[in-house]
Amino acid sequence: MPPTEKTTIPSRDQSITRVIGLISGTSVDGIDAALVEISGTDLDLKIELVAGSTYPYPAKLREQILAVCAGAAISIPELAEMDDAIASAFAQAAHNIQIDHQPATLIGSHGQTVYHRPPGDRGLGKCPSLGYSLQLGRGALIAHLTGIKTVSNFRVADIAIGGHGAPLVPRVDAFLLSHPQEGRCIQNIGGIGNVAYIPPRRDDWLSKIRGWDTGPGNSLLDLAVQHLTAGAKTYDEAGKWAASGSPCLALVERWLNQDYFHLPPPKSTGRELFGVAYLEQCLQDAEAYQLNPSDFLATLTELTAASIAHSYSSFLPEMPQQVLLCGGGSRNLYLQQRLQLLLPSIPVLTTDEVGLSADFKEAIAFAVLAYWRQLNLPGNLPAATGASGEVLLGEVHPGDY
C-alpha cells in the first residue's frame, strides 16, 4: 500500500531543533515517521509536528519480520541482512519525511522489536536475570545512510539497571499531556497495549506517574483477521467486522484468568506471549461456544478492552478523569466504544482531542527521547520500567561518516 498522506504544519521558528522520530511497533504495520520541531528541556518542553507519515515495509521483509517474531529459525548471516534491510527502510523513511521541509539534525529511532523478555528468575537461583530486548534496524547504518546523527537502542540502558526497558514513553507523556487538575491515562494501543498514568501536574506529581503494558492491543485481532481471511486481510478496519458480532463474555472472563493480567506492575509483554500460539489457544477455547467469525473477533476485541479496564481497577492508585487513546487501535471505533462501556464514568477520547497526534505520538516520543539524550537528560521513568534509577537512554551514532 502507498504511504499514508502527510500531515504538515508550517515552521514558525527556525532556531528550534528539528528531529525525526521513527518506530515500527509490534503490529509491524509499517514505519511511523514524525518530523518534529522541539524546544525547551523537560518542564518547558514544546513540540510541533511538522510532518507525519507511515511507510509500509516491502512485503517480503514484513513477512520475514513476522516470522522471526513468531519464533522462526534464522541464521546469523540472515539476521545481519535483515537488520540492515530494516535500517535501510528506516533511513528511507527519514529521507521521505523531510521532502519539502527544512532538514532535521537528529534522528531518534526505536527500530523494530523482534524479541522481548522481561526480567525475572530464569533458573539463576536467587539472582534474577536481567531482561533482554532486541530491536533491529541498527542506528549506525541509519546515520551512515542519512548523514544525520542518530540515537537508537533506547531500551538497553534501562534494562542494564534492572528495568524492563518498557514502556519508555511515560516520561514524554508526562511533559506533553499532563493536566493541572485532572489525572489522565494515556493508553497506547499498538500490537501490545501500554498505559501511562499521569496524575494532576502539581506537588510531587512526577513521583506518582505509573506505566506498564496492559496486554494485547491489536496483535491478536490482526492475527485473527489474517487467519479468518486466509491472509486476504491484515486488520479489521475501524473494528467494523467485530462490531457486526457479539462478544462472548464468559470466554473473556476465562481469558482474563491468564497470569499476566494479575501480575502487578512494573511489567511488560509482547508477541512472545500474545502471539500466534496464544491465538491458537483462543481459537481452541472458542470451539465450545460455536462462535462465528464476527463473534470471535468481537470477543477478542472485548479482551483488549477488558484487560485495559481490569488493569486500571487493579493497579492504579486512583481512577483517572480522562482516558486518551493513541496508536493504531485508537482508530478502532468498536474497541473505543467497548472500552467506554467498561469505563462508563470516564471520558474515553484520543490524544488528537487534546492537540497531540494519536497516529504519530509514539514516533514523536522517540524524537523527544533522542532530543533529551542530546541534552544529557534521563529518558526513563523507574516507576514505569522497574529500573533502579534514572538513566540516559539511547546509543548515539554520529552522521556524516
**What is residue 128's predicted lDDT score, i.e. its pLDDT?**
60
The x, y and z cell numbers of residue 288, run together, are 465450545
Positions in the chain whose pLDDT score sits under 70: 1-15, 121-128, 401
Distance CA 68, CA 74 (A): 7
**What is residue 124's predicted lDDT score, i.e. its pLDDT?**
44
In tens, the pLDDT along 372-387 reads 999 999 999 999 999 9
What are the backbone dihedrals phi and psi of residue 87, each rounded to the nearest 5 degrees, phi first? -60, -40
> Quick check: 349 and 22 in contact, CB under 8 A?
no
Q: Given the C-alpha cell 506498564, which residue does it identify?
A: 212
Distance CA 189, CA 132 (A): 22
**What is residue 13's predicted lDDT score, i.e. its pLDDT?**
44
In tens, the pLDDT along 187-231 reads 999 999 999 999 999 888 988 999 999 999 999 999 999 999 999
> Quick check: 332 and 301 in contact, CB under 8 A?
yes
> Quick check: 185 and 197 in contact, CB under 8 A?
yes
Q: Given the C-alpha cell 551512515, which residue does it identify?
A: 144
- What DSSP assignment string belongs to 156-216? HHHHHTT-------HHHHHHHH--SS--EEEEEESSEEEEEEE--SSTTGGGG-EEEEEEE
- Class of the domain covering 7-166+360-397: alpha beta
Q: Is there a cis peptide before residue 247, judged by omega within 30 degrees of 0?
A: no
Angle between helices 293-315 and 333-342 (to 10 degrees): 50
**What is residue 33's predicted lDDT score, i.e. its pLDDT?**
98
The x, y and z cell numbers of residue 55, run together, are 511507510
Residue 165: half-sphere exposure toward Cβ, Cα within 13 Å: 24
Q: Given the C-alpha cell 506533553, which residue does it identify?
A: 176
Distance CA 364, CA 358 (A): 10
What are the backbone dihedrals phi and psi of residue 205, each rounded to the nearest 5 degrees, phi first? -60, -35
- CATH 3.30.420.40 domain span(s) along the chain: 7-166+360-397, 170-346
**What is residue 399's predicted lDDT score, i.e. its pLDDT?**
84
Q: 273 CB contacts (<8 Å, ≥6 apart)? A: 260
**What is residue 401's predicted lDDT score, i.e. its pLDDT?**
52
Nearest residue to 220 (alpha-carbon basis) of 192, 194, 245: 192
3-state secondary structure 353-376: HHCCCCCCHHHHHHHHHHHHHHCC
Domain 170-346, second-level architecture: 2-Layer Sandwich (3.30)
Distance CA 70, CA 336 (A): 28
pTM of the model: 0.92
Average pLDDT, the chain: 93
Percent of the residues in the chain that have a pLDDT greater than 70, as a whole number: 94
